[in-house]
A = this chain, B = another copy of it.
Amino acid sequence: MTPTPLFKTVVIAGVGLIGGSVALGLKDRFLAERVIGFDVSAETLTAALALGVIDEAQLEPGEWLREAELIVLASPVGSLGQLAAQLAPFAGPDTIFTDVGSVKGPLAKELAYLRSYVPGHPMAGSERGGVENAQAALLENAIWVLTPDDRTPIGALKRVRTLVESLGASAVTMPADAHDQLVATVSHLPYLSALALTHMVTRDERLALLAAGGFRDLTRVASGDPRMSRDMVLANREALREAATRFQRSLEHLLELLDTPEALLEAAEEGKRTRDSLPVVRRSLLPPLFDLVVAVPDQPGQLGRITQVLGEHGVNIKNIEVLAIRDQGGAVRLGFATLEEMEQARELLHDVGYRSRTRA
């Protein structure tokens, strides 16, 4: 039996990575009867339809908007105000607006004319943008900040909050300016510092050659869409400048500690404690799996053989990762929920000729 959807008609205005992921979440979880995609790009809409992300596509604002119970503004942050202004005149009296913009203070002022607007910001993203990378899972377990003010209708806030939780995210409510200060620190400043680091590598091939995994991870955000990133930091530049000042002080302090090894060790330990306890880090570590690394020749059917043997004996593989693929073969990491399952898997695979190694 299909559950009653939360909304009849939802409009996703801007069908990119986030808009597309919201749309997929709505469809996967039967939260909307109909999802209409609105975008300035016909190409994007065609792709979104083909990928099954939206049910209908619209290139121009019009009377069709009257039926929307909810309009999700999901264009890049620099154009959200303009997008709302385009759509609002066609909306019905009970249409709820929400948005996914990464900066909330300036937008709240710009959209103050809307009767029913619930400002929002899902803290999720990827350096691979666009609707073709959209997935409902992007929003699952994400923090989704809502920044209502005194004029926000309580009924609209409730419905958007229910939507957020139904998509598998966690709604967190705070004032817009508090949000903007926080994201300056955890998102915009990290982007700018990654950009600054990346620029140091430009025009020196030896540096590029030596850049290893740590540098790659650290500068990942610099590979995002340049215009979206630019708009994001620009929209929040005041809070960003403040955060940068604190960051520079923090870095200066660490440079001074280079003369006091014991204090530097304490700082390194404190940093590890803090990072290891970040919810986003803890989440990515959980649930703890018991890993088995299996050596496999690079031939068709290897994964089939491995997983078939385990499946036949009721051993559930919770995670699987191909560690290395080369002509002479590779290795596959299998994750199991319990030590017993891992050991059972190891024996079963040994019996059919696979070498494996456990990983703590």
Contact = CB atoms under 8 A, between A and B. Distances in A.
Contact of A223 (B124, B137, B275): B275
A40 interface: no
A145 B253 CA distance: 31
A206 interface: yes
Interface in A270-328: 270-272, 274-281, 284, 293, 298-312, 314-326
Interface string A224-260: 1011011001100100110110111011011100100
Interface in A184-239: 185-187, 189-202, 206-224, 226-227, 229-230, 233-234, 237
A277 B205 CA distance: 10
Interface in A123-179: 123-126, 130, 132-133, 135, 137, 140, 142-143, 145, 172, 174, 178
A41 to B, nearest CB: 15
A109 interface: no
Contacts of A284: 216
A221 B217 contact: yes
Interface stretch (A63-71, A79-87, A91-99, A261-269): A261-269
A130 B359 CA distance: 11
A231 to B, nearest CB: 9
Contacts of A298: 316
Given A214-B221, A229-B268, A299-B316, A251 B248 contact: yes
Contacts of A190: 197, 214-215, 218
Interface string A27-38: 000000000000
A54 interface: no
B186 A193 contact: no
Contacts of A213: 124-126, 280
11 contacts: A125-B212, A189-B197, A195-B268, A202-B271, A213-B280, A226-B271, A241-B258, A300-B315, A302-B311, A318-B325, A319-B325
Interface of A: 51-52, 123-126, 130, 132-133, 135, 137, 140, 142-143, 145, 172, 174, 178, 182-183, 185-187, 189-202, 206-224, 226-227, 229-230, 233-234, 237, 240-241, 243-244, 246-248, 250-251, 253-255, 258, 261, 264-265, 267-272, 274-281, 284, 293, 298-312, 314-326, 331-332, 335, 357-360
